[in-house]
Amino acid sequence: MSNKVIYAIYNDDDILMDAVKKTRAAHHHIEEVFTPFPVHGLDKAMGLAPTRLAICSFIYGCIGISFATWMMNFVMIQDWPQDIGGKPSFSYIENMPAFVPIMFEMTVFFAAHLMVITFYMRSKLWPFKEAENPDVRTTDDHFLMEVAVNDNEEALVSFFQGTGAVEVKVIEKH
């Protein structure tokens, strides 16, 4: 199997969207698409599965509200009960209305921070990671589609030239 890929470079997002649809219709495997800004509908055109990060966020929020409930019960009721404003400290349920802002903030805190960590781990981004951008123009005004080559190099080059690519390059990946 070849380690070659084709870089088809486009200068318009609408042309890129049409090219992605034509490429998928021709049953060519799109490795990645690099764009200078988010292109609406590109994930659906590429056939990517929907993200499950929202499920993680819900779970992290549940962890946050559970931690907040445990923390407030332990600190304010069990460990060091205090009479604040004449409110009794006999049970957590009697004092829960006063704890609602803390529960909300801890839910948001846990969900937000753990989501950032999950996103970085899932996308393999971390400090000092080398950029994987194959062409520096994709950070400015060009779009790049990377497609695997399977012994059909000449046919793919002519196919992508027909889709409106301004430049088509065959690259040996290592």
Q: What are the residue ranges of helices labelled H in 123-170?
A: 153-162
Instruction: Using the predicted structure, report yes or no on whether residue 93 has a pLDDT greater than 90.
Output: no
Phi, psi at residue 53, to the nearest 5°? Answer: -65, -25
- Which domains, ranges and CATH numbers included, belong to the chain? 4-50+133-172 (3.30.70), 53-122 (no CATH)
User: Can you say whether the dihedral through the CA atoms of 163, 166, 170, 174 is positive or negative?
Assistant: negative
Instruction: Using the predicted structure, report yes or no on whether residue 1 has a pLDDT greater than 60.
Output: no
pLDDT bucket at 91, cuts 50 / 70 / 90: confident
pLDDT bucket at 14, cuts 50 / 70 / 90: very high
pTM: 0.71
- Beta strand segments in 99-152, E: 143-148
pLDDT bucket at 106, cuts 50 / 70 / 90: very high
Structure tokens at 38: 């988010």
Choice between 151 and 164, residue whose per-residue pLDDT is larger: 164
pLDDT bucket at 2, cuts 50 / 70 / 90: low
Residue pair 102/68 in contact by the 8 Å Cβ criterion? yes
pLDDT (average), residues 54-68: 96
- Beta strand segments in the chain, E: 4-10, 30-34, 143-148, 167-172
What's the Cα-to-Cα distance from 153 to each of 14, 149, 163, rounded to whole Å?
Answer: 25, 6, 15
What does the pLDDT look like over 25-46, one tens digit per residue? Answer: 999 999 999 999 999 999 999 9
